[in-house]
Amino acid sequence: MTTPQPAPAAPLALKLAIGLGLLANAGLAILLIAISGFVFGGPEGANGEASAVAGWGSTLAISILAPALGLMMWRRGRRDLALAMVWLPPLALVVGALVVL
pTM, entire model? 0.78
- What are the pLDDT digits (tens) for 5-44? 776 777 889 999 999 999 999 999 998 888 877 777 665 5
- What are the pLDDT digits (tens) for 33-82? 888 777 776 655 566 677 877 888 888 899 999 999 999 999 888 899 99
User: What's the pLDDT at 51?
Assistant: 81
- CA angle in degrees (0–180, nearest 5) for 82-35-66: 10
Pick the more confident residue, 48 or 99.
99
Q: What is the 3-state secondary structure (H, E, C) of the chain?
A: CCCCCCCCCCCHHHHHHHHHHHHHHHHHHHHHHHHHHHHHCCCCCCCCCHHHHHHHHHHHHHHHHHHHHHHHHHHCCCHHHHHHHHHHHHHHHHHHHHHHC
Q: In this structure, what are the phi and psi dihedrals at residue 40, rounded to the nearest 5 degrees?
A: -100, 5
